[in-house]
Structure 1
Amino acid sequence: MFAHKNRGFSLLELIIVVVIAATLVNMALPSFTSFISSQERKGVLHDLMGMFAFARQHAVMNGAIVTVCPLDPSGACGKDWNSDIHAFLDPDNARKLTTSRALLRTISPTDGGQLIARSLNRSFFQFRPTGFIHSDLGNITWCPESGDASLAGQIIISRGGRVRVARDTDNDGIPEDSKGQPLSC
């Protein structure tokens, strides 16, 4: 007679493998969550920098004011930076997109955090035909849903129209704004 050899896993072996796998996943999950937030921040800041560079370039190329802002239902610049953000030619400085004005670009923000724009009392940014910022300088801060300032990011728009990302200059793990203060969410 032939002896049949079992070729499967015993229940005990299966349980041990599942416990080891679950332990490894639990150890890796916090790092993975932080990695996802970091990548999301980089993506949002990259999109915003691209939008502002594009708007500045078109202001110079078209010899007209270009406005960047979220729009309210009437087509005027709104205050909700967590909705779609638009760049459009605004030769009359009306801060309103109408059918006669050209929409240049639209970006949609991510669901993983919120954007906070600071441009004194304005809810928009404008570029002159020279490429300089038409309104006061400002910034846009992205805060993750967790509110963790170490995962926050900010783009800073200078009066010259240049856009840069806030950096962690004092190595405390939190980027500093244009005044050297740590970002807060």
Structure 2
Amino acid sequence: MKGSIKALTLVELLVTLSVVGILMTSATSFGSYIENTKARSDIKQLRRVLSYARNIATLEKQNIVLCPLDTNGSCQRAWNQELTLFSDTNRDQKLDPLEEVHTRIKPLPATIASRNFQRSALIYFPTGFSTTGTLSYCASTTPPISYAFILSRVGRIRPGEDNNNNHIAENASNQDIPCPK
């Protein structure tokens, strides 16, 4: 058969379009799954670092600080930047050359998630006590994932709740944590 034309039948075309549609839907769902998994992983990492900080403070009998550092090594309030956990032997909330860095937490791109704390440093004291406040985490997922680490004076951490069911965790005063819209 010279000059025969090969083409798709209507059934083959419909099957192909159906498969492409299913793959497109799965890809969107998979992307959301990846974002949700990353957010949950970030939350677990913060929880581990906070527990680790309290343990180090009580074992080493010194102040342990978690904070974002500026270019001079001083604590600042930019909580989306890299966080550093260090022994603050002279209690100045500044990382000095002889002070030990225990761990670092990678910075968060503002388009993906945000962290917030009302002070420039979260401090655990040798007694295990800590500065009070709410360390918040908000992921820009659909629906949004938010988490509040409420720190008591005695250094205990409890999760914030979502009493008004708006997908935003609340602080100790039952107010929504600050999450960008």
Normalised TM-score (structure 2): 0.80
Displacement of 1:16: 1.9
Asked if structure 2 preserves the Cα contact closer than 8 Å seen for 1:45 and 1:165, the reply is no
SS in 1 for 2:129: coil
What corresponds to 2:140 in structure 1?
Answer: 145
Displacement of 1:67: 0.8
Displacement of 1:54: 0.8
Shift of the 181–31 alpha-carbon distance from structure 1 to 2, 3 Å rule, reads farther
Tell me, in whole angstroms, the C-alpha distance in 1 between the residues paired with 2:53 and 2:35: 27
Shift of the 14–152 alpha-carbon distance from structure 1 to 2, 3 Å rule, reads farther
What corresponds to 2:50 in structure 1?
Answer: 52
Q: CA RMSD in A?
A: 2.5
4+ residue runs of structure 1 moved beyond 6 angstroms?
none
Tell me, in whole angstroms, the C-alpha distance in 1 between the residues paired with 2:105 and 2:177: 24
The answer to which structure, 1 or 2, has the higher relative contact order (CA under 8 A, 6+ apart) is 1
Further displaced range: 31-40 or 41-50: 31-40
Asked if structure 2 preserves the Cα contact closer than 8 Å seen for 1:49 and 1:164, the reply is no
Shift of the 21–144 alpha-carbon distance from structure 1 to 2, 3 Å rule, reads same
Tell me, in whole angstroms, the C-alpha distance in 1 between the residues paired with 2:117 and 2:159: 14
SS in 1 for 2:117: strand
Shift of the 72–160 alpha-carbon distance from structure 1 to 2, 3 Å rule, reads same
What corresponds to 1:42 in structure 2?
Answer: 40
Asked if structure 2 preserves the Cα contact closer than 8 Å seen for 1:44 and 1:110, the reply is no
Asked if structure 2 preserves the Cα contact closer than 8 Å seen for 1:63 and 1:129, the reply is yes
Structure 1 unaligned runs (5+)? 1-8
Tell me, in whole angstroms, the C-alpha distance in 2 between the residues paired with 1:99 and 1:57: 23
What corresponds to 1:5 in structure 2?
Answer: none
Asked if structure 1 preserves the Cα contact closer than 8 Å seen for 2:147 and 2:160, the reply is yes
Tell me, in whole angstroms, the C-alpha distance in 2 between the residues paired with 1:80 and 1:139: 15
Asked if structure 2 preserves the Cα contact closer than 8 Å seen for 1:143 and 1:149, the reply is no
Normalised TM-score (structure 1): 0.79
Q: Which of 63, 71, 74 is the equivalent residue of 2:61? A: 63
Displacement of 1:27: 4.1
Tell me, in whole angstroms, the C-alpha distance in 2 between the residues paired with 1:105 and 1:151: 25
Q: Which of 68, 92, 95 is the equivalent residue of 2:93? A: 95
SS in 1 for 2:57: helix
Asked if structure 1 preserves the Cα contact closer than 8 Å seen for 2:138 and 2:144, the reply is no
Tell me, in whole angstroms, the C-alpha distance in 1 between the residues paired with 2:133 and 2:27: 36
Q: Which of 122, 125, 141 is the equivalent residue of 2:122? A: 125
The count of corresponding residues between Structure 1 and Structure 2 is 171
What corresponds to 1:115 in structure 2?
Answer: 115
The question of 1:155 aligning with 2:165 is answered no
Tell me, in whole angstroms, the C-alpha distance in 2 between the residues paired with 1:149 and 1:123: 29
Tell me, in whole angstroms, the C-alpha distance in 1 between the residues paired with 2:126 and 2:31: 43
